[in-house]
Structure 1
Amino acid sequence: MCVIHMGCMFGSNTIRLWYPQLAAMISNDAGGLCSAIAPPTEAAAVDDICVPIVADMLTYLQSAFVGAGSILTYGIGGALVNRCGKRLVAGFCGVTSAFLIVMLPFLGTSAVPVVATVTSALAFTSLCGASLSSITVDLFPTSLRVMAMSTFLMSGRLGTITGTVIFPALINYGCLPPFITIGSVLAVCGSACFLLPNTTLKKLE
């Protein structure tokens, strides 16, 4: 459970925390996401070094829209969990978010599909994390539940720290490596969710 949650937060919070920077870079570059974060290698002029990227109001509105997308997912998540089961919802959301994140570099030059894709991916990962939390609560008895949830949440924070450190390092290798890495981690974690015990509508013992 801790390893799966670490991978889920590795993908979710890395994209969430880096998205404002990515949005600002896209708004200052008409060539699209890949052109913004991994421009062609060429000799930099002296005047081009340390030029700040100006973030306009649209960047903050996009970030707010991305964050609000998870509200709708939590709204329908309860019905999905009761109907399909926590394990199935967690696995499906993990695999789907992996596919959406891998698709980010191929969305062209418009900011609208990027915002929509990031919103959907983060909404799915949020629902995946919530389902995993619910499964963790069901798996452990009351005497161990607090320690189990604390360890579970701590592993998620470690995944977030790891992702935010690794993401800029992967950008140095090009546009695709950071998104393929995050997508691969989410795909593995989503697939691992299908191996978890089914706790939906089971009695706590």
Structure 2
Amino acid sequence: MEKHAGLILPEPQISLKTLFEGALHPAWAWHFLTSSTISFPDIGPADQRSLDVLPEMFDGTISWEDLAWIRRIWDGPIALKGVTTVGQASQAVDHGLDAVIVSNHGGRQLDRLPATIDVLAEIVDAVGDRTEVLVDSGFRRGSDITTALALGAKAVLLGRAHLYGLAAAGEAGVRHCVDILSRELRMTMQLCAATSIAELDRSLVQRDSGAPAAHT
């Protein structure tokens, strides 16, 4: 596998477990063995949807100067995802971005990154009057959404919950997940005596000493 930015992606290893799994799923195994490339339908044109394009998607040379260039050629709204510090948020605002998304990408890249709920309030305090602050990573319940809104987030982004619903029951599953989150959000607001999103504030959030996350 090609070396990129100092890293080498591992080659897939075929083991006895792999062969056993393949025997349990013969149609998939046949398709895998007879396909020349592994296809990713949402990546690039049809003739380039394979593992070969993945190294190009992780460019370690991207810098703040690239954001300045994007801002010059694009007059629409731009949101920067992956912000976890006040410094990053401030630089994003200085480069003319319209929103920042407080996100550690689910903690998959570096498990020592702070939970986004732990850094949200200070980022809102630093730049919330100059740009919109959104948040994601680890939000699974309506009460989680309520907490983030109370801490100052303009919106909470969720993806995994919708994917679970999609995998289980297609479009109906996604609608069901949205309904669950909506009901939980409304119930939490009712228990907090908040009749609107605007009434959610930090007085409703209490942090246990030593606890890793805020609770509503």
TM-score (norm 2): 0.27
The TM-score with structure 1 as length reference comes to: 0.28
Indicate the structure whose relative CO is greater, using CA pairs within 8 Å and at least 6 residues apart: 1
Larger radius of gyration: 2
